[in-house]
Amino acid sequence: MLKVVIGALGLALTGATAAPIAIASPPAPVAAQATPAPAAVAPRPAPRTILFIGNSFTFGANSPVRNWRADSVTDLNGAGYGGVPALFKAFTLQAGLDYQVSLEVQGGRTLGFHYDQRRRLFDRAWDVVVLQEYSTLDPDRPGDPRNYINDVARLSRLFVRRNPLVQVHLTATWSRADQVYRATRGPWAGKPIYAMALDLRAAADRARAVIPLVTGIAPVGQAWNRAISTGIADPNPYDGIGYGQLDLWSFDRYHASTAGYYLEALVVFGRVTGIDPTTLGPGEQAADALGLSREEASALQRVARDELAAG
């Protein structure tokens, strides 16, 4: 039996050509296999740049606002102020916006001072600029808008040369209680508390009318007037503050209180971004950090919204 098997095997090996045996090819090396290209990542847009130029009404003198969140903004003078610009920054973050915020401020100075003495600090391209004049326009001739208009023109031309698409906004500020109730002379002595703010707005309107480079006006003083006329704020801090009303002035009846600066920042935020300030809501973080109640924050947001809607 064994011989038969061996003989058959020999016949198979020496006979006609055997059919070839198929051998599978080894798999291609991993490195040689095609890999999908990584998905393209869209570059993150650069933050919008905004510059605030002004004085103590901008940096929040006589209130906790002055140095609040100073690390969130860039003080071009290195004084460490946060002020209204830091409030603006906080609002934009809560609204999901990306702004790089800078300020160049000096207490008791006009816009002309900033142009003449400080322009080397800000002579560059900006997306938005907010200009705030001295509280009485001209320190030597209160209520006279001529230098204000001239300085707005000089600054606007400077910024437009650096960025033709820059937005220039003017802040029209509030009536000073000391100029109304305690002054014995001057353009607002003895007049209704609303008059000074309306005159400051009229000056801003004149500037915008003759300077087409101006984009818009933040009606801060008129928002104060609205807060007073609707009973949210007290009209005369010298005779005591009404129950349940806000005092918009600080202890000198000249600068703003925390509530007053908060209202200023809301109006500027709404004007620059086009966003309804009430969308920040009663739980808005800056108001809570600075000691304003949810009800106070909501009331001031409504005032800002309504004044902006009124123009």
CA 300 to chain centre: 17
First CA to last CA across the chain, in angstroms? 115
CA distance linking residue 153 with residue 141, whole number of Å = 20
182: tokens are 């305690």
Give residues with Cβ within 8 angstroms of 306, minimum separation 6: 226
Token digits of residue 309: 């809607």
Domain boundaries, the chain: 48-310
Which residue intervals of 123-216 are DSSP H helices? 146-162, 177, 194-210
Separation of alpha carbons 302 and 226, rounded Å: 10
b/e string for 64-75 if b means 16 or more Cβ within 10 A?
ebbbbbbeebeb
Query: What are the pLDDT tens digits along the chain (311 aa)?
Result: 434 333 443 433 344 444 444 444 455 554 445 566 666 666 778 999 999 999 999 999 999 999 999 999 999 999 999 999 999 999 999 999 999 999 999 999 999 999 999 999 999 999 999 999 999 999 999 999 999 999 999 999 999 999 999 999 999 999 999 999 999 999 999 999 999 999 999 999 999 999 999 999 999 999 999 999 999 999 999 999 999 999 999 999 999 999 999 999 999 999 999 999 999 999 999 999 999 999 999 999 999 999 999 98
pTM: 0.86
CA distance 102 to 144: 29
Taking the C-alpha atoms of residue 187 and residue 191, their distance in angstroms, rounded to an integer, is: 8
Just give the CATH number of 48-310: 3.40.50.1110
Rounded distance between C-alpha atoms, residue 278 and residue 275, angstroms: 9
pLDDT attached to residue 311: 83
* pLDDT value for 36: 65
Give me the pLDDT at residue 1, please.
Answer: 40
Q: How many alpha carbons fall within 13 Å on the CB side of residue 95?
A: 21
pLDDT computed for residue 45 by the predictor:
84
